């Protein structure tokens, strides 16, 4: 039995929930599918905060300028302007909806983060900003009777007929069986693909399924070579890489090597507040120079009570591993954190496939360029989630005309639908970390691609196929880009080149091409 709704949203992070709320304003029915519980997403784990122009000493031009500098020449100025200007309005709306950002005497508290020229980062409950935003958006969505959330509903693929996206195939959480749901349009808000790497700050759900599904449906992907590695993930043997927020360095934390020396002055005059790509590469260089596997984040100059109040979640996590932020140096090393690339969209979330929209980390509007400015991601999800929802509702899509006999068969067996095999996961993650990681070169990328082709020749589940495909696309784009820019660093091409002041565009039928702008309408 198939289901029919007006609109489908895949994902329940900030972009997905905001898109659903916007669509619901039109009176249409929205079904939100997510492969875990409704609150499980990258948004949930966002600690540092959300960047927004709201303080008296800040303005849109400054925020735009900081974003453009961090993006290393590949940001779309129109996308950045949209993010910054509309972001203020949408954050104010969030506050009206009950989002409890931290305050001091009734005034909003702003903090500093790397590469920002002003203290413009709002946070909630110290270091649980994403969790608070999801809470308030879920509460708002619950008020809209036309929004139906279906948690634990893993999506296998998009249904495309006559070049138009008309629905999805998913695993029904009640029947525990595959089924289809059809709609006038589908909005992808499935997040990023941090799990492609051996070391990541991302939750287990961040496997990039939305990007892969869009690719197989015929959509363009853009800038897949640009992956941001967070410089400071807690590095303890046998423990997951827990994110130690950018805000720790913004509040005065310094990086030290195994000998206790502060070392960032060797690499960048901005020290610990340099952009993330520079700090990550600096840490890698320092670890190689000293022959160690980690460096240390030193917060001991700050008051213990202040650290507990400002970073309660980080404090509790560190204490669970026997570390006291106020007394101990925290072992850290970089980990994959954010995908600047994704499904190519215009500024309203439209992809190159009619009926398919995308917003948030799964998408690529050009707003981040080659390197995302810290704390712009929550703002991006909020702004472009709302815009994608508005566009989908306004574009006047007709009801899907489904010819069931023309649909390709669903993968057999529940494990075929949702599982990435252990062998594929381990091999891909290690290859991505070692050969398509923070530092790359032609030989390592070609070796990775050769091994990915071997893996692809196996009899893979849908999820495993998606996983290997995304890894292959990232490696191919990295091999094509013979320069170093933002999150992409080639030791054999260490300088930026105007020849590559372009976006990589990948399509399953057209292969890899390039474009001066990300916007698919051009």
Q: Strand 330-339 to strand 254-256: parallel, antiparallel, or no bridges (unpaired)?
A: unpaired
d(CA 407, CA 388): 27
Token pair 């390709």 in the structure block, residue: 408
List the one residue out of 393, 386, 342 whose CA is nearest residue 365: 342
Hey, what's the torsion of the CAs at 465, 468, 474, 479, to 10 degrees?
Answer: -120
Residues near 451 by beta carbon (within 8 Å), at least 6 away in sequence: 427, 431
Listed in sequence order, the residues at least 6 apart from 1 whose beta carbon sits closer than 8 Å to its beta carbon are 179
Strands 177-182 and 185-188 turn out to be unpaired
Residue 519, token pair as written in the block: 């916007």
The catalytic residues are 276
* Measured CA distances, 484 to 233, 342, 401, 474 (Å): 24, 19, 47, 15
Structure tokens at 192: 């990023």
Q: Are 48 and 123 in contact (CB under 8 A)?
A: yes
Separation CA 247–CA 216 (nearest Å):
38
Nearest-CA neighbor of 298 among 237, 253, 336, 232?
253
Please count the other Cβ atoms lying within 10 Å of the Cβ belonging to residue 67: 27
Beta strands 177-182 and 164-172, pairing class: antiparallel
Q: Where are the beta strands (DSSP E) in 203-300?
A: 221-222, 227-234, 242-243, 254-256, 295-298
Q: Residue holding tokens 């980062």?
A: 121
Q: How far is CA 319 from the centre of its chain?
A: 28
Interatomic CA distance for residues 173 and 189, integer angstroms:
20
User: Please, what sign has the CA dihedral across residues 234, 239, 240, 242?
Assistant: negative
| List of residues 6+ apart from 376 with CB closer than 8 A | 51, 67, 83, 367, 368
Rounded Cα gap, residues 139 and 15, in angstroms: 15
What sign has the CA pseudo-torsion 435, 437, 438, 442?
A: positive
Interatomic CA distance for residues 312 and 273, integer angstroms = 22
Contact assessment for residue 129 and residue 123, using Cβ atoms and an 8 Å cutoff: yes
Instruction: Name the strands in the sheet holding 155-161, side by side, starting at the edge strand that comes first in the sequence.
Output: 3-4, 177-182, 164-172, 155-161
Residue whose tokens read 């080639």: 490
């Amino acid at each position: 039995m198939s289901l029919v709704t007006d609109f489908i949203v895949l994902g329940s992070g900030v972009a997905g929930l905001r898109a659903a709320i916007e669509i619901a304003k039109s009176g249409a029915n929205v079904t939100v599918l997510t492969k875990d519980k409704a609150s499980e997403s990258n948004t949930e784990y966002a600690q540092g905060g959300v960047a927004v122009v709201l303080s008296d000493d800040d303005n849109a031009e400054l925020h735009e300028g900081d974003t453009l500098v961090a993006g290393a020449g590949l940001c779309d100025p129109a996308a950045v302007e949209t993010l910054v200007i509309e972001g203020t309005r949408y954050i104010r709306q969030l506050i009206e909806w009950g989002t409890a950002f931290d305050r001091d005497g009734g005034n909003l508290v702003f903090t500093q983060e790397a590469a920002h020229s002003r203290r413009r980062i709002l946070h909630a409950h110290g270091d649980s900003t994403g969790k608070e935003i999801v809470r308030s958006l879920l509460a708002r969505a619950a008020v809209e009777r036309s929004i139906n959330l279906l948690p634990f509903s893993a999506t296998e693929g998009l249904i495309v007929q006559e070049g138009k996206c008309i629905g999805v195939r998913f695993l029904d959480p009640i029947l525990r069986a595959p089924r289809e749901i059809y709609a006038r349009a589908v909005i992808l808000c499935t997040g990023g693909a941090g799990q492609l790497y051996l070391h990541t700050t991302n939750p287990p759900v961040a496997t990039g399924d939305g990007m892969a599904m869009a690719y197989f449906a015929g959509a363009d992907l853009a800038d897949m070579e640009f992956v941001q590695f967070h410089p400071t993930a807690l590095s303890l043997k046998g423990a997951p890489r827990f994110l130690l927020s950018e805000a720790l360095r913004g509040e005065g934390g310094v990086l030290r090597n195994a000998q206790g020396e502060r070392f960032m002055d060797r690499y960048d005059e901005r020290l610990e507040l340099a952009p993330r790509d520079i700090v990550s590469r600096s840490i890698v260089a320092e670890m190689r120079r000293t022959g160690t596997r980690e460096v240390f984040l030193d917060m001991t100059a700050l008051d213990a009570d202040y650290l507990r109040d400002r970073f309660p979640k980080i404090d509790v996590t560190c204490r669970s591993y026997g570390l006291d932020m106020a007394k101990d140096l925290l072992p850290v090393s970089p980990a994959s954190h954010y995908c600047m690339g994704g499904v190519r969209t215009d500024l309203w979330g439209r992809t190159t496939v009619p009926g398919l929209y995308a917003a948030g980390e799964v998408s690529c509007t050009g707003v981040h360029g080659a390197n995302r400015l810290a704390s712009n991601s929550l703002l991006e999800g909020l702004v472009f989630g709302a815009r994608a929802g508005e566009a989908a509702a306004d574009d006047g899509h007709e009801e899907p005309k489904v010819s069931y006999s023309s649909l390709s068969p669903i993968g057999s067996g529940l494990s075929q639908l949702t599982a990435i095999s252990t062998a594929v996961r381990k091999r891909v993650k290690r290859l991505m970390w070692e050969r398509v990681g923070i530092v790359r070169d032609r030989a390592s990328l070609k070796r990775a691609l050769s091994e990915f082709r071997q893996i692809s020749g196996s009899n893979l589940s849908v999820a495993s196929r998606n996983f290997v495909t995304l890894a292959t696309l990232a490696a191919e784009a990295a091999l094509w880009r013979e320069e170093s820019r933002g999150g992409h660093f080639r030791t054999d091409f260490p300088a930026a080149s105007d020849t590559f002041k372009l976006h990589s565009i990948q399509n399953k039928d057209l292969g890899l091409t390039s474009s001066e702008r990300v916007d698919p309408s051009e």
